Amino acid sequence: MITLSVPDERFLPLVGDLGPDVRIIVWDMEDEAPADEREALSIVAVPYYKVGKAMFRRVHALPNLRLLQIPSAGYEHAVAHVPPGVSLASARGVHDAGTSEMAIGLALAVLRGIDDAARDMVTGTWRWRELTSLADRRCLIVGYGSIGAAIGERLEAMEAEVVAVARTARTIADDRIVHGADELPTLLGSAEVVFVVTPLSDETRHLVDARFLAAMPDGALLVSIGRGGVVDQEALLVEVASGRLRAALDVTDPEPLPPDHPLWRTPGVLITPHIGGAVRAADRRFAALLRRQVEAIREGREPENVVAIGPKASEPNG
């Protein structure tokens, strides 16, 4: 018997009937797992947005847990908390559509002056000016993974030029060239819009630093949609406060961004509260992933998107 926990009741009809050998329970991880279910739980689906260290510690009380399924594409926050021998799976693919739409929306809002127009509505100000379209813009996508590729597809449909960057250079489907991160210094100088979608790691923390930003041309737009720690916000503040660059941020460091942080009030900056993946479609896609994970375990296959396995009992865990 496979026992799956989902974070709340809205997932029950979305996951549906998985067969007589699968039980589904609701567990939001706010408290310990029900005592009569701890032995049985084999897959735990983690809630969106509210899991901290204390909540992750609760899965260590589940002796037969096989898979910890997080709802985000990023997983750096969870790796240190995986119980010994348990697989950790990301939600790679679940948020491609929602997050890429958000990235495009942020870019359009700034380039087409929608953010300023919304502010002008408060005072009833009719302010006409010539603006910039995404069409014909040279767009650099830093972090060309699943979400980065989804952004690229949408940009090309809008007649923008796409330049892809990942950790290492490679050629992928349709002979698309993905540049390596070591090429950024030469690529940034011609990038009119830079989308940053990289996961957060020791390697990528403050990747977008003063040198990175200085390499961007005057008037360029930075769209940060991955993890807030990838961007050095103090360095960014210097550039946007001077008016040389603009920025649209769905992620910040820390989150929530403190109310007195100057980025809130800096002209040329648009901030949204980490809602790139917060769309109803994500629930359906996460439920579909859970169904596939159950099927994989039922058939003895490795689940999808496994990014880590908890250490052996003799190894330190984080």
DSSP E strand boundaries for the chain = 2-6, 22-26, 41-45, 67-69, 87-89, 138-142, 161-166, 170-171, 177-180, 193-196, 221-224, 246-249, 269-271, 306-309
pLDDT of res. 314: 52
Share the mean pLDDT of the chain.
94
**pLDDT at 280 exceeding the cut of 90:** no
Walk across the sheet containing 138-142 and list its strands: 170-171, 177-180, 161-166, 138-142, 193-196, 221-224, 246-249, 269-271
| Contact of 163 with 181, CB cutoff 8 Å | no
- Do 47 and 17 reside in the same domain of the chain? yes
pTM of the predicted model over 0.85: yes
- Do 237 and 100 reside in the same domain of the chain? yes
d(CA 216, CA 208) in angstroms, rounded, equals 11
Q: Helix (H, G, I), strand (E, B), or coil: what is residue 263?
A: helix
d(CA 229, CA 36) in angstroms, rounded, equals 40
**Does some domain include residue 315?**
no
d(CA 84, CA 315) in angstroms, rounded, equals 9
Segment 293-315 shows an average pLDDT of: 89
| Contact of 54 with 280, CB cutoff 8 Å | no
**Does some domain include residue 314?**
no
d(CA 158, CA 44) in angstroms, rounded, equals 39
- Do 29 and 170 reside in the same domain of the chain? no
pLDDT of res. 23: 96
Percentage of the chain lying above the pLDDT 70 cut: 97
C-alpha 28 chain-centroid distance: 21
- The letter for the amino acid at 143 is G
- Do 250 and 132 reside in the same domain of the chain? yes
| Total domains present in the chain | 2
Q: Helix (H, G, I), strand (E, B), or coil: what is residue 128?
A: coil
Neighbour-count burial for 275-307, b at 16+ CB within 10 Å, e otherwise:
ebbbbeebbebbbebbbebbbbbeeeeebbbeb
* 269: confidence class by pLDDT, cuts 50, 70, 90: very high
pLDDT of res. 317: 55
d(CA 306, CA 88) in angstroms, rounded, equals 6
**Does some domain include residue 201?**
yes
**Does some domain include residue 317?**
no
- Do 40 and 90 reside in the same domain of the chain? yes
pLDDT digits (tens, 9 = 90+) for 192-225: 999 999 999 999 999 999 999 999 999 999 999 9
- Do 151 and 207 reside in the same domain of the chain? yes
**Does some domain include residue 316?**
no
**Does some domain include residue 303?**
yes
Segment 18-28 shows an average pLDDT of: 96
| Contact of 74 with 200, CB cutoff 8 Å | yes
Walk across the sheet containing 67-69 and list its strands: 22-26, 2-6, 41-45, 67-69, 87-89, 306-309
- Do 82 and 206 reside in the same domain of the chain? no
| Contact of 71 with 91, CB cutoff 8 Å | yes
* 175: confidence class by pLDDT, cuts 50, 70, 90: confident
Domain that includes residue 138, residue range:
96-271
pLDDT digits (tens, 9 = 90+) for 123-157: 999 999 999 999 999 999 999 999 999 999 999 99
**Helix or strand holding residue 229 (H, E):** none
Peptide bond into 256 cis (omega under 30): yes
pLDDT of res. 301: 96
